[in-house]
Structure 1
Amino acid sequence: MLVKKKAYSLFLIFIINCLTSCKNTSTSPSFFSPTEQIVEEIPDFGNFINEMEALDLVFEEIDAQMLPDIIYAILTVCVEEETFEIQVEIIEDQKNGKRYHIKNEYIDIWVENEQLKILYQEDVPLIEPLPDEYLELYINYLEAKSATNDFLFVDLKRQMIFVFENYNGYYFLIQKFPCASGKNATPTKRGHFIIENKGPVFYNEAKFYKCYYWLKYSGQYLLHSVPYSLDGEILNTAIILNTAMQKKVSNGCIRTEIQNAQWLYENIDTQTTIWVY
């Protein structure tokens, strides 16, 4: 699979290469030149095909480095006095980990937290970042779609937010910010969503904090600033309100530093696609 715009880009490269190779070739041979010096230039379309095949290989190499941040757990099930343990994926939680939406090849259900044993891996080192041009190639190769001119990609394995802008059918990377996602017990929901709504601030008076510049993308899941006290001071004491970046510290939302959250709030419209991976 190749996107039309990338094929078009490769075609342009092919044309430029042809023009460059012909710079030193006379397009109007002199009648005084020996006829054996007049050589017909035939484009090598085989090179163009080879470039497209090479692009496929590059994509496969990049794709191998794009790893989903799947949170696994062991579900305990009792059937006729026999106990079975089944590995499942946690999709989302409710009420800070009291209930979980889980699934595997055979089930897709909600269960109470007492039935699960979450496999904790919150201190796993971040994956090496990819070059910007690799990310652009990856997103465009996948034919990213958005109802607006922008596309958001959240790489949970690298704890980064990437912003792409569509220009003439090609998505260019224009911004990238570090972020902090949900703990394994309260994981960030993965998948393709759209920005449903946004606002300048929300308050959690029960826990005495607020967050600025939120973008809602799925139910209770938001992208917003790090937490602040109700009087406006940044919080960095309680573990639940840790403001560190590029760590799993939240209750499921995606956090970023306030200046980055403000940029997203001011520049990203509702209906923009966000891919959380």
Structure 2
Amino acid sequence: MKRVLLIGIVGIIIFSFSACSSLSDMYNKKDTQKINVVSNINPHPKGKKPASPAPRNILKAGDKGNDVKDIQKRLNKFGYTVNEDGDFGEQTVYAVMDFQHRHGLTTDGIVKGSTLDDLKKKPASDVMYKPTAQVVSGFNSAEVEGIIDKLDTSSYTDYYIMVSIPQQMVYIFNGSSGKWKLINSFQCASGTGGTPTVKGHFFVGIKGPQFESQNGVILKYFTQFQGNYLFHSVLFDKRGNLVDGTLGRSASHGCIRLALENAKYIYDNVPIGSGILIQ
């Protein structure tokens, strides 16, 4: 019995051939040598590579491959600066989430269905990621920029948020580490002593137009920074009337309260994946 081993990209397949009893009568020695030569031909001749796997319909964190690289290239056409390395890491996850937010989709960071369809469309100006921003409020910019540029900042975008709890102030920056430019600043209300705001380094997470608290008040334009801790507006009732507009001192249950227009500013302008420092 003669066995021929063919090694392909998808595994090892062994074909067994049974020699016929009359083989010696059908082929002379020269012919048999020809059979051996043909049987041992490389299934993937030099210069010819096996076909790549078909693109997947669902891509998520941890996936790797050329189809991931294709998604990264498509994200960059929408203005993002994602490494086209074929690795669906945090940078890609945040970019996908921000893309989904701009397109009114569920911000889960998974590429499938409508997200995949929209990524294949021609980019429109109203949904493009914008790496630069206009200065809205540069209050005390030199002092604040001097402080943040000395810090170890990390952001997956060209934006950064710094919250000073002692000052009850929020500062929004545009640029990059060591070269941040203050573009907006406004008062806030952090958590009280019994329900303090968490401190540390975070990243902008999911966003939403509004939600209702357990006691029935409405918080508008929320932006997540850690778990259930959010930036959001001051408190309104279900008819839109202001319930509590306290700013400039500790007043919340741990979230960062903002004037309605400032909560909307972060919601509209600070991309998902932007770095945050609360101190």
Structure with larger RCO (C-alpha < 8 A, sep 6+): 1
* Larger CA Rg, structure 1 vs 2: 2
**TM-score under structure 1 length normalisation:** 0.49
**TM-score under structure 2 length normalisation:** 0.49
